[in-house]
Amino acid sequence: MTSEPLKFIADAMLGRLARWLRILGYDVSYESSISDNDLIAMAIRERRIILTMDRKLTERESARNFLLIKSPSYKEQLKQVITHYNIDYKTGIFTRCLVCNILLDHVEKEKIKDKVPSYVFSTQDEFDICPQCCRIYWSGTHRVKMLGMLDEIMK
Ligand SMILES: [Zn+2]
Let me know if residue 132 belongs to a domain.
Answer: yes
Ligand 1 centre and the CA of 137: distance in Å?
Answer: 10
Domain co-membership, 15 together with 75: yes
Confidence of residue 3 (pLDDT cuts 50, 70, 90): low
Residue 1 has pLDDT above 60, yes or no: no
Domain co-membership, 15 together with 66: yes
Helices 74-84 and 141-154 sit at what angle, rounded to 10 degrees?
70
Domain residues for the domain of 127 are 105-154
Question: How does pLDDT run across 104-144, given as a tens digit for each residue?
Answer: 999 999 999 999 999 999 999 999 999 999 999 998 878 88
Ligand 1 centre and the CA of 148: distance in Å?
Answer: 25
Global pTM value:
0.91
What is the domain count for the chain?
Answer: 2
Question: How does pLDDT run across 24-82, given as a tens digit for each residue?
Answer: 999 999 999 999 999 999 999 999 999 999 999 999 999 989 999 999 999 999 999 99
Which CATH number is 59's domain given? 3.40.50
- By the 10 Å C-beta count (0-12 exposed, 13-18 middle, 19+ buried), 104 is classed as buried
Domain co-membership, 113 together with 58: no
Determine contact, residues 34/26, Cβ cutoff 8 Å. no
Enter the DSSP assignment of 114.
G
